[in-house]
Amino acid sequence: MSIHPIVRLVVPAGLFTLLVVAPRRPAATGQDGGPSPVLAAATPSPAPDVELTELYHEIAAPGARVTVVEFSDFGCPYCGRFERQTFPALRKEFVETGKVRWRFVPFVLGMFPNGGEAMKAASCVADQGDRSFWKMHDLLFQNQDVWKDARDPDGLLESYAVAAGAQAGPWKECYRGSRAADRMAAADALAERSGVRSTPSFFIDGRLVQGALQLEDFRRLLADATR
């Protein structure tokens, strides 16, 4: 698992617990959800610290009592299979009905072509709203084989970002800047500190479940957790 060479980040003990109970990601309108935990650089660095709420992307209805935290790599084929074949049904049955809060943490295992570029692209789309992020999430997994094989993925990823609703100018500025790389380093550190060694990995209210389970198996786990 790679760490950005400029910003080596340390995840404090107990931070994963904070991830489960962390305040919801601030709305795109800039509403202040209160202070959130910060991943601080281990040594002095010109890069800014990274707030925990910048690392996860949430879908939740009011009143959800169970939290699922998913660690995923946009380039992972098993993650793609889960997102395309399994997650839509779980979202409809458990998330949209208010039973489960789903938090998606993208990070980079370092073994899939253009995975880092895809994560940075999605991170920069998220700056323009959660709705755009989830559209980008879908586009990246639906077109996984296309952008992974691209020799120069930047233009292709920009086209997905625009299709997801992002404005090209701000997106380019973010993508070419250091902030997206800082988030990627922080997410990698969070995954490593949380014991994530493969993708996809899930924490269902703190219980680790690894692998792209079949729909019925995952449905059974969520049904038990939400009783």
**pTM score of the predicted model:** 0.82
Backbone φ and ψ for 154, nearest 5 degrees, come out as -60, -50
Over its length of 227 residues, how does the chain's per-residue pLDDT go in tens digits?
333 322 333 333 444 455 665 555 543 323 333 333 433 333 333 333 788 888 999 999 888 999 999 999 999 999 999 999 999 999 999 999 999 999 999 999 999 999 999 999 999 999 999 999 999 999 999 999 999 999 999 999 999 999 999 999 999 999 999 989 999 999 998 888 888 989 999 999 888 999 999 999 999 999 999 99
With tokens 């389970």, the residue in question is 213
User: What domains sit in the chain, N to C, each tagged with a CATH number?
Assistant: 51-222 (3.40.30.10)
Helices (H), the chain: 15-21, 77-81, 87-90, 115-126, 130-142, 144-148, 154-163, 168-176, 179-193, 215-225
